[in-house]
Structure 1
Amino acid sequence: MTNWPDDDVILYDGVCIFCSRWIRFVITRDSAHIFRFTPIQSDYGTRLAKAFGIDPNDPDTNAVVHGGVARMKSDAALTVLSLLPGWGWTRVLFAVPKPLRDAIYGVIARNRYRIFGKYETCFVPDSEMRARVLE
C-alpha cells in the first residue's frame, strides 16, 4: 500500500466503458460526496498511477486512496462499496481470501474492453461529476 497526499480519490481507466459505469454507479450512491475521481489518462491520474506502480498505458486495475493509503484491485472496489450508503454489508467480502478476490478481479480487468467495449477518448463527465474530477 502506498501513501498519497489527496484522500478519497478513485483512479480509473477513462476510456473503459465498464470503468466509466463504475464511476457513475459510485457517484449516484455517494450522497455524502466522499469520493473524487481522476481518469488515468489525465496528467494527475498518470502521476497517481505511476506512484502506485500502475502502467498508465496499460492499466490493469482501478485504485482508491482512502485514509491516505492506496488500495488496488478487489481491495479498491470493496473499500469504495463499503463506504457507500446501503453497501456496508460488502465488508464481509474482505473475508474472502485476497488471492481469490484478486483473481476474479483480474479476469474482469483483462477482458473489460472485449466484454464491455472502449471509448475512443475519455468519456466526458456531466456537470455533477466534473466538479468532483481531478485532472
Structure 2
Amino acid sequence: MLAEQRLGKWLTSGKPAPLQSSHSWRPRRSPALKRCVAAVSSSPSVDTAAVFATDKRPIVLFDGVCNLCNGGVRFALTQDPQESLRFAALQSNIGRALLQRCGRQPDDISSIVLVEEDACHIKSEAILRIGRRLRQPFPVGAAPLFVLPGFLRDGFYDQIAGSRYNVFGKQDVCQLQHDQHADRFLQ
C-alpha cells in the first residue's frame, strides 16, 4: 500500500519516479570505469590504419579495470617471449577507435577483442587465437577447442564475462601499461 501511495504522488507531481530496484535496465558503471571513460573523448579520433602501418602485430583489447582481464594480460605477457602481441585497454582512445573499426560500439567493454590488420575476433575466438601465439603447450591445447561450435564456446565465455567483476573484482584505475613492457601497450 505504501508503494502505491508513493507511486500515486509521483504520478500526480509530474516528476519521474526514481529507480527502486538495483536490477534496473540501465547499465551501472563503477567509479573506476567512469574515470576510465571520462579520460577519453566520446568519439575517438585515432587513425587506426596508422596503428598497423609500421607494426603488423595484432592488438589485444582488454577491459582495463577488470582483474580477470588484467591477469590474462599479465599471463600473455609472460607466455609470449617473441612479443607477437600488443595490448590496449578497451577504455583508451585507441581501444575505442579499434572497436569502431571492428564494427562495435566504442564503449562496448563486454568482450576481449583481437584486432589484426585485416580482421577482428571477439570472445572465445579471440582467446583461442591469442592462445595459438603463446609458447607451448598453449597452441597445442587450444587446437582441439577450435572444433567446438562457436556458440558453445561463446556461451561459456559469456558466463564467465558476465560475472567477471563479481567473482574477480575490479581495479581502481585503468591498467594501460607495465613499465617492463611499455612498448607493447598502445594508448
TM-score (norm: length of structure 1):
0.89
Query: Is the counterpart of residue 42 in structure 1 residue 92 in structure 2?
Result: yes
Unaligned segments of structure 1, at least 5 residues: none
> Which deviates further from its counterpart, 4-13 or 36-45?
4-13
Given that 1:78 and 1:94 are in contact with CA atoms closer than 8 Å, whether structure 2 keeps it comes out as: yes
Q: 1:23-53: CA deviations, max 9, x gaps? A: 1010001010000000011110111122224
Q: Which of 1 and 2 has greater Rg?
A: 2
Q: Choose which of 86, 94, 106 in structure 1 pairs with 2:158.
A: 106
Equivalent position of 1:12 in the other structure? 62
Cα offset, 1:94, TM superposition = 0.4
Instruction: Name the stretch that deviates more: 19-28 or 40-49.
Output: 40-49
Match of residue 26 from structure 1: 76
Contact 1:13 1:40 in 2 (8 A): yes
Question: Deviation of residue 55 (structure 1)?
Answer: 3.9
SS of the aligned residue for 1:45 comes to helix
C-alpha distance 67-79 of structure 1, shift in aligned 2 (>3 A): farther
Matched, 1:76 2:126: yes
2:134 paired with 1:95:
no
User: CA contact under 8 A between 2:63 and 2:70: conserved in structure 1?
Assistant: yes
Shift of 1:60: 1.1
Structure 2 gap ranges (5+): 1-47
Higher relative contact order (CA 8 A, sep 6+): 1
Identity of aligned pairs, percent? 32
The list of structure 1 runs, each at least 4 consecutive aligned residues, that deviate by more than 3 angstroms after superposition, is 53-58
Check if 1:59 corresponds to 2:109: yes
Q: How many equivalent residue pairs?
A: 132
Q: Is the 8 A contact 1:54 1:60 kept in 2?
A: no
